[in-house]
Chain A
Amino acid sequence: MNAIETRNLRISYGENEVIRGIDLDIPEKICFAIMGPSGCGKSTLLRAFNRLLELNPTAKVSGEIRFFEKNIYEMSEHELRRQIGMVFQMPNPFPHMSVFENVAYAVKCNRMAKSKKDLSEIVEWALKKSALWDEVKDKLKEKASNLSGGQMQRLCIARALALKPKVLLMDEPTANLDPISAGKIEELIHELKKEYTVVIVTHSPSQASRVADYIAFLYLGNLIEVGKLEEVFENPKNELTEKFLTGRMG
């Protein structure tokens, strides 16, 4: 079963068509990279998967999107977003909440913990899963804004994992981090993709080459090429993909 499928997906902001009829199949439990030059629609595509696009009143979506073979519009967007976690380019843990509260808050709101003890266990589990536990276990009550950028991003990952999603969407997660923090997150992705489907948007072919199993190349809203990473990167079939990978685009 594919984690996410799209059929003839079209997205426009008002009159401006940003995604022009895309058919995509994202298999389970792999790391799937979506790449392309700026403005090709990758972030928009990602936000369509968890219906976050609905926050923008000018966004129009047509075509099918299926999540584990269920139409994403046939469930509540809140339920969908619990099963599809998202991590953003700018680490955004809630600044007014502590580390513990950041991870626990959505768990509480979604009534996913049976007791206080259960909640603590979930928080600890999520922080361990995102390789942050050792660094924050003595600082759980401290404000999240005191953490470093890389730690904040891992906190955001923990926060999403605490809801036990099946898919994790990552929109250029390391773009604002230093190389060492970025490296830690890439290591984490290697672990996470054993249990979760990770869909990562990245503008860096090098990063995709380090973490992804499959890649899809988007250009001006069209799906130009998709396939196994080694095949596409060694011998791309499309001229545009080649231009992008070798940096000759633009």
Chain B
Amino acid sequence: MFRKLKETLFIAYVCIFSIIALLPLVHIVFTVFANGIPVIFRGGTEFLTQSLASPGKGLGGIFPAIFGTFLLVFLSSLIGIPIAILAGTFIAEYPTSALSKSVRALLTIMLEFPTILVGLFVMAILVIPMGSFSAIAASLALAIVMLPYVATYTEQALRNVPQHYKEGAYALGLRKARVVFSVSMRIARKGVVTGLLIGVAKVSGETAPLIFTAGNAWRSVGGVFEPVGAIPLWIYYLVQQPYANYHEIAWGSAAVLLTLFLVIFIPLRVLTREVRV
């Protein structure tokens, strides 16, 4: 009888604390959608296609920010993913070399490195010599942020390829490059793609690296060497403005960002559960 009571209390205790842990997340999602979705509905499709409204005058659109986010994700992937995959493959296939051990240590540091410092670094090496903010600088910063995630997921995925497939490939007289790229990589495909998507999802919401590299673009969509906007950047700046409509636009942008985020992450989680290791 007493044991039953203890059991019930324990379960209640676990439930209550789980709910408390989930509360902030639920609160954020709820608040953002509660405040942002009405804005989007009021703004209509123009909210997604036009550029920033004048101070105090209506909602306008956040198209430059959306364009910027997509451009930056694309460019940073282009720069970061190949390097990350090669790095991940290298440390997976040559785990004992000194270089490999240093690279792995470096990647671990990069995972925790303050992203604003990444932004500062790129500013120093690219923005200042170029004389202006640019999409390319922002992409480089994002690529650096993305790199350790994609690289470590790639390494894990390759490590998880069962040894007997590799042995079988070598036993057929295949050379190392073939075994790694045509056999291991193809088998590890799902894990590597997961890593890619996680990297992409992460950088699509990053703000700090963009502050010193992207500049901003409120009304235009420029080329690779010109300043560019991004949704998180806009939210950061808009919130600091004194105008009420800008605050509303910020909520709307937040809702758009959260939607994009969930649209990538939820299917991603479902996918990873299906991957057999």
Q: Do A and B belong to a common assembly?
A: yes
Chain A, residue nearest B165 (CB): A92
Does A180 have its Cβ within 8 Å of any Cβ on chain B?
A: no
- Is B186 interfacial (CB-CB < 8 Å)? yes
Measured CB to CB, the closest approach of chain A to B99, in angstroms, equals 15
Which residues, 180 to 236 on B, are CB-close (under 8 Å) to A? 182-183, 186-187, 189
Is B105 located at the chain interface by the 8 A CB criterion? no
Say whether B175 contacts A78, CB under 8 Å.
yes
A57 to B235, CA, bound (A): 53
Residue B1 interfacial (CB < 8 Å): no
Are B186 and A156 in contact, CB atoms less than 8 angstroms apart? no
A9 at the interface (CB under 8 A from B): no
Task: Say whether A85 faces chain B, with CB atoms less than 8 Å apart.
Answer: yes
Taking CB atoms, residues of chain A closer than 8 Å to B171 are 50, 52, 81, 85-86, 88, 160
Interface pair B174/A109, CB less than 8 Å apart: yes
- In whole Å, how far is A76's beta carbon from the nearest beta carbon of chain B? 9
Residues in B with CB closer than 8 Å to A110 are 173
- Alpha-carbon distance A80/B170, docked complex (angstroms): 11
A86 — nearest CB in chain B belongs to which residue? B171
What's the nearest-Cβ distance from chain B to residue A229, in Å?
26
Q: How far is the CA of A50 from the CA of B171 in the complex (A)?
A: 7
Q: Is the CB of B183 within 8 A of A94?
A: yes
Assess whether A94 is in contact with B169, with CB atoms less than 8 Å apart: yes
Residue ID in chain B nearest A50 by CB atoms? B171
Size of the B side of the interface (Cβ < 8 Å), in residues, is 20
A1 to B140, CA, bound (A): 64
B34-53 vs A: 1/0 string, CB under 8 Å? Answer: 00000000000000000000
What is the distance, in angstroms, from A128's C-beta to the closest C-beta of chain B? 19
Residues of A within 8 A of B175 (CB): 78, 109
Question: What class of interface size applies to chain A in its complex with B?
Answer: 20 to 34
B174 touches A78 (CB 8 A): yes
In the assembly, what is the distance between CA of A105 and CA of B178, in Å?
Answer: 11
Residues in B whose Cβ lies below 8 Å from that of A4: none
On chain B, the residues within 8 Å of A126 by CB distance are: none
Tell whether, in the assembled complex, residue B170 and residue A163 are in contact, meaning their CB atoms are under 8 Å apart. no
Q: Separation in Å of the A103 CB from the closest CB of chain B?
A: 10
Indicate if the CB atoms of A92 and B168 lie closer than 8 Å: yes
Q: Is A39 among interface residues, defined by CB-CB distance under 8 A?
A: no
Q: Does A79 contact B (CB under 8 A)?
A: yes
- Interface pair A92/B170, CB less than 8 Å apart: no
Determine if A106 and B174 form an interchain contact, defined as CB atoms under 8 angstroms apart. Answer: yes
Q: Write the nearest CB–CB distance from B24 to chain A, whole angstroms.
A: 42
In the bound complex, do residue B178 and residue A109 qualify as a contact, i.e. CB atoms below 8 Å apart? Answer: yes
- Are B170's CB and A95's CB within 8 A? no
Residues of chain A with a CB closer than 8 A to B166's CB: 55
Q: Does A96 contact B (CB under 8 A)?
A: yes
Asked if B187 and A52 sit within 8 Å, CB to CB, the answer is no
Q: Is B187 within 8 A of A92, CB to CB?
A: no
A42 within 8 A of B: no
Residues of A bordering B, CB below 8 Å: 50, 52, 55, 57, 78-82, 85-86, 88, 90, 92-96, 105-106, 109-110, 156, 159-160, 163
Could you name 26 residue pairs across A and B whose Cβ atoms are closer than 8 Å? A55-B167, A55-B170, A78-B173, A78-B174, A78-B175, A80-B173, A82-B173, A86-B168, A86-B171, A88-B164, A88-B167, A88-B171, A90-B162, A92-B167, A94-B168, A95-B165, A95-B187, A96-B186, A105-B172, A109-B173, A109-B174, A109-B175, A109-B178, A159-B172, A160-B172, A163-B172
> Which B residues form the contact surface with A (CB < 8 A)?
96, 162, 164-175, 178, 182-183, 186-187, 189
